[in-house]
Structure 1
Amino acid sequence: MQDAFDSLYRTITHRVENPIDGSYTCYLFGKGLDKILKKVGEEAAETIIAAKNADHKQLIDEIGDLIYHVEILMAFKGVTPEEIRTELLHRAHKSGNLKPEHQTDKDT
């Protein structure tokens, strides 16, 4: 996943630095943060719906779309894959971190 994640991020930043006519990435950057956030929200909702359905391929497609749009957001806000990787590794080493509000209602 690291290679695909990094490769996509590099492609996004390259596209922004070297715009191509008709590029969806450039379009999103040109529209700004509100449009990017709207797309992240839409893709998150579509991923949730796909997860409820029985179509495994659709779920994979929607997760791919969500990751792409999250990486657009990351690039727009200057967050690098390395920063996310570091945060995830930090979290992987934590244990016993169930928040008190979830200890009373484990269904949420």
Structure 2
Amino acid sequence: MDATVLDTLFKTIASRKGADPSQSYTAKLFSKGRGKIAQKVGEEGVECVIAALSEGNEELVGESADLFYHLMVLWAEMGVKPEDVWAELAKREGISGIVEKASRPKE
């Protein structure tokens, strides 16, 4: 499998913007706004941690899928496209994580 499944998922998610919230969970998330969507990303991230520490691989796989889904809803809400993220990852390819992190502007 490659990123194609993620690109397809993103297209489906983006198509739900403005759809009837009573007919689509994704449309319902969009109707609740960026804050709620971001909260869901955080919740799913925590559930991934819990699955990794106290459950098993099957649970981690399921929670990871939930995390990807909610993250993509957030991307769509904010106008970020998967290819933007793929390009950022490609820029970092072959660069040490320590070097990459050190190159980021200090806050």
Larger RCO, structure (CA 8 Å, separation 6 or more): 1
**Superposition RMSD in Å:** 1.7
> How many Å separate the matches in 2 of 1:13 and 1:22?
15
Is residue 85 of structure 2 the alignment partner of residue 84 of structure 1?
A: yes
AA in 1 matched with 2:35: D
Distance 1:93 1:29, change over 3 A: same
Q: CA deviation at 1:53?
A: 2.4
Question: Based on CA coordinates, which of the two structures has the bigger radius of gyration?
Answer: 1
Question: TM-score, normalized by length of structure 2?
Answer: 0.84
Partner in structure 2 of residue 15 of structure 1: 16
Aligned amino acid, residue 76 of structure 1: E
Structure 1's unaligned 5+ residue stretches are 101-108
**1:59 — aligned with what?**
60
Q: Percent identity?
A: 40
Q: Which residue of 2 aligns with 1:73?
A: 74
Question: What is the CA–CA distance in structure 1 between the aligned matches of 2:46 and 2:8, rounded to whole Å?
Answer: 25
> In the alignment, does 2:99 pair up with 1:97?
yes
TM-score normalized by structure 1? Answer: 0.83
SS of the residue aligned with 1:16?
Answer: coil
Matches of 2:23 and 2:29, distance apart in 1: 11
Gapped regions of structure 2 (runs ≥ 5):
103-107
CA contact (8 A) 2:10 2:82 kept: yes
Following TM superposition, by how much is the alpha carbon of 1:54 offset from its aligned partner in structure 2, in angstroms? 4.2
Contact 2:10 2:72 in 1 (8 A): yes
How many residue pairs align between the two structures?
A: 99
- Structure 1 pair 70/50, CA: closer, same or farther in 2 (3 Å)? same
